Amino acid sequence: MTKCVQTKEKKTNENTERSEETNASEFEMKNKHRNKLTIMKQMIEDESINTDEYVVASTYMNAEFPYLNKKLSVANAMLNRFFNPQYQKDNSSRIVFYCFNEKVFNNLHSHMYLKLPKHLSYAVVLKKFQEIFRRLDDRTNENRKYKFRVHSRTIDDQFLYLDYCLKRYDINNADTFVVI
């Protein structure tokens, strides 16, 4: 009889552990969804971030997120240095990248939004960013088919595209959403 009671208690403990695991994973999913919505609202409500146009910086290589973040950070510093040599002292006139990094086969890339100072034109900054990012490609074969590339388009639906950018967002991986 004690064996039967022990078996029932064991089953009850297993069920309790499973339900706790289920509740924890549901909480994580809700929390992740809530964080995505928070990011979407903040990005769209901030008038200084240009959410009408997006930029994609592609490496066309299999690498890790820190590699891409380093390249984007260097490109951002070079871009800021070109348009405002005193950008480290004056944060108000700084160009900021909001990067949603994504890794797919043979293409580590970042969907980006730009925050520009009022005195700079989006088209001029984009052209200079394309030049700088192309120069940061450190692969030695000059005749390769795919090189670092930056392209941009105008967005019709801001929420829809932000949702697309956040599809690979991971609350536990800080490299999936980076502000540079």
Domain that includes residue 109, residue range: 47-179
Give the total number of structural domains in the chain: 2
pLDDT by position in tens, the chain (length 180): 555 555 555 555 554 444 444 444 444 544 555 688 888 888 889 888 999 999 999 999 999 999 999 999 999 999 999 999 888 888 888 999 999 999 999 999 999 999 999 999 999 999 999 999 999 998 888 788 888 999 999 999 988 999 999 888 888 888 889 999
Side-by-side strand order, sheet with 49-58: 149-154, 49-58, 107-115, 96-104, 177-179
Q: Classify residue 176 by its DSSP letter.
A: G
60/130 same-domain check? yes
Whether 153 and 78 map to the same domain: the answer is yes
Other CB atoms closer than 10 Å to residue 88's CB: what's the count? Answer: 11
Residue with tokens 């089953």: 11
Secondary structure of residue 118 in the 3-state scheme: coil
